[in-house]
Amino acid sequence: MSQSNDLNEVGQFPSKSSAGKFYIVKRHRDTGALSCDCPAWRFKKGDRERTCKHVQTVAAGATPLPTPPVVEMEPQATDDVVAGLMADIEQAREKKPWQGLGQALQKYNAQTL
Q: Is the pLDDT of residue 2 over 60?
A: no
CA distances from 97 to 27, 51, 103, 108 (A): 61, 60, 11, 17
**pLDDT for 34:** 92
Yes or no: say if 58 and 11 are a contact pair by the CB < 8 Å rule.
yes
Is the model's pTM score more than 0.75?
no
Yes or no: say if 28 and 6 are a contact pair by the CB < 8 Å rule.
yes
**pLDDT for 28:** 92
* Each residue's pLDDT tens digit, 72-85: 777 667 777 788 77
* Each residue's pLDDT tens digit, 23-57: 999 999 999 999 999 998 888 877 778 889 999 99
Tell me the residue length of the chain.
Answer: 113
CA distances from 21 to 16, 24, 36, 38, 106 (A): 9, 10, 13, 10, 55
